Structure 1
Amino acid sequence: MIRQQRNWGGINLYQVLFKRLEGNEDIAIPQKMSEWAAGFDLQAAVIEAVVLEPGERKLIPTGFAMAMPGELEAQIRPRSGLAYKHGITCLNSPGTIDADYRGEVKVLLINLGQEPFTITRGERIAQMLFQKVPVVAILEAEELPDTVRGAGGFGHTGV
């Protein structure tokens, strides 16, 4: 059972379990690269180098599976340095990993740059952030309350 542990210096501490998949003992489990970093960096668990040509997308394995409490989701986001320097980013960003998923975590990368980009084993390719998911009740209604904005969208409030 996965539990939320409370009262860690007045902060709610969530326990997330990581399982390294066979053959990936050399790949680090996700870790923060600085004290106040929001995201945990993910490494590529590719068997051999993968080349991403400009405009090409590929699903890159991370070498681990995980289990987290039901009140959390994990979001996969690009690393700013890869995006800025090479045009490498994540599709479906942020990608959501639901609490009941137990398969290998993979990252969908695309090369928006002008040059091929090579992904090597152990390279940091994305970051993972955890977010609390609110409990929501969906109710069907025949009418919705009015607002000043109403149905205006797609540039309705300005640029």
Structure 2
Amino acid sequence: MKMKRGFQIVSKYDGQGLHLPYRTTKQAAGYDFESAVDFTVPSIWKLDFLKVLWAIRHEQTIAPADADRAKRILKPFLVPTGIKSYMQDDEVLILANRSSNPLKRGLVIPNGIGVIDADYYNNESNEGEIFIQVLNFGLTDAVIKKGERIGQGLFLNYLAADNDVTPKQERQGGFGSSGQ
């Protein structure tokens, strides 16, 4: 019997005590993802973020070094899960924040959701490992311990448009590889 959808541990994490994503309650739609490692997400506030905001607010010219610093401050951190996911061709795994992350830790997913396509599974670059993107708007660094829940995933079917032209390109890499 061909398996339809599910999760596997990425080979580099074999034997490291990771848990496959799981639903916490009977009617939970999302599968909870845990961090594969201890991970610290620095607070944006300790990285001169206020200085950059002040300059923008007062319409002052931002020095190139400050602009570069702002980009680094607002670059999301990728928390490894050690998990990959397989699914049907017309399905997608949507990653969403846990409701407790912004409240308790100041962590947000900067793009709102993550999209894991079916062809991301077992790609050559990273075996399809799923990462949870986060920014820390909290006042202090957020310390995530290995095994702590950091996001949730929902399997969904998607529909193509009537006039859809099926792309001929095959996935050539891992995270962010389908283009800009």
TM bracket, shorter-chain basis = 0.7 to 0.9
The CA deviation at 1:96 is 0.5
Count of matched residue pairs: 126
**Unaligned 5+ residue runs, structure 1?**
4-14, 140-159
- For 2:19 and 2:30, how far apart are their aligned partners in 1? 15
- For 1:17 and 1:40, how far apart are their aligned partners in 2? 10
Residue 125 in structure 1 maps to residue 150 in structure 2: yes
Structure with greater helix share of residues: 2
What is the alpha-carbon root mean square deviation over aligned residues?
1.8
Match of 1:61 in 2: 80
Residue 74 in structure 1 maps to residue 93 in structure 2: yes
Q: Which amino acid in structure 1 is aligned with residue 85 of structure 2?
A: M
Asked if the contact 1:24–1:45 (Cα under 8 Å) also holds between the matched residues in 2, the reply is no
- For 1:138 and 1:54, how far apart are their aligned partners in 2? 45
- For 1:128 and 1:54, how far apart are their aligned partners in 2? 25
The CA deviation at 1:18 is 2.1
The alignment's TM-score, normalised by the length of structure 1, stands at 0.72
Asked if the contact 1:2–1:16 (Cα under 8 Å) also holds between the matched residues in 2, the reply is no
Q: Percent identity?
A: 29
- For 1:84 and 1:41, how far apart are their aligned partners in 2? 17
Q: Rg larger in 1 or in 2?
A: 1
The CA deviation at 1:109 is 1.1
Match of 1:155 in 2: none
Greater mean alpha carbon deviation, residues 15-24 or residues 79-88? 15-24
- For 2:19 and 2:40, how far apart are their aligned partners in 1? 22
CA displacement, residues 130-156 of structure 1 (integer Å, 9 cap, x when unaligned):
1110132337xxxxxxxxxxxxxxxxx
- For 1:82 and 1:63, how far apart are their aligned partners in 2? 20
By relative contact order (CA 8 Å, sep 6+), the higher-ranking structure is 2
**Unaligned 5+ residue runs, structure 2?**
45-72, 122-127, 165-180
